[in-house]
């Protein structure tokens, strides 16, 4: 298991997890959020290929509709 920070909270995930797997593991639909990984925005097209590493920090922002 590896330890990461998600929106300031410590979380543990299996080594080798991708960002998409991490999101699904905490019940978040990867299609409905923007993800910042170590202070860089992650393109949605790479969420399934970028692996989560021990000590990484993530900020996850949900899209909100409105007018």
pTM of the model: 0.88
Please name every residue paired with 35 in a beta bridge, in sequence order, or none if there are none: 60
Q: Which domains are assigned to the chain?
A: 2-62 (3.10.20.30)
**15 pLDDT higher than 90:** yes
- What pLDDT digit, counting tens, does each position of 31-57 carry? 899 999 999 999 999 999 999 999 999
For the segment 18-29, the average pLDDT, to the nearest whole number, is 95
The predicted structure's pLDDT at residue 67: 62
3-class secondary structure per residue, the chain = CEEEEECCEEEEECCCCEHHHHHHHCCCCHHHEEEEECCEECCHHHCCCCECCCCCEEEEEECCCCC
Q: Mean pLDDT, the chain, as a whole number?
A: 93
Percent residues over pLDDT 90 in the chain: 87
């Amino acid at each position: 298991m590896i330890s990461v920070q998600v929106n300031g909270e410590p979380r543990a995930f299996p080594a080798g997890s991708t960002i998409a797997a991490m999101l699904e593991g905490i019940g978040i639909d990867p299609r409905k959020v923007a993800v910042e990984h170590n202070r860089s925005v992650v393109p949605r097209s790479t969420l399934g290929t970028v692996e989560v590493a021990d000590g990484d920090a993530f900020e996850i922002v949900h899209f909100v509709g409105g007018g």
